[in-house]
Chain A
Amino acid sequence: MRASVGDRIVINGHRVGEPDRDCEVLEVRGQDGGPPYLVRWGESGHESLFFPGSDATVAHPAGAMN
Chain B
Amino acid sequence: MSTSKGTDHFSFGFLTVRLHSDLGYLGGYLLVNSLARPLEFHCTLPVKPTRAQNILYGPTLVDFLCGEQIARTLVSKAKLQPVIVWTDSPAVLALRNVTEIPVCQVRQSRQNSEASKDLVIPSTQHEGVRGGELSGMDIYVSSQHQEDWESVAKRWRELTKPIDLLEPFTRIVDALQEAHPSSKAA
B is a partner of A? no
Task: List the interface of chain A (C-beta within 8 A of B).
Answer: none
Task: List the interface of chain B (C-beta within 8 A of A).
Answer: none
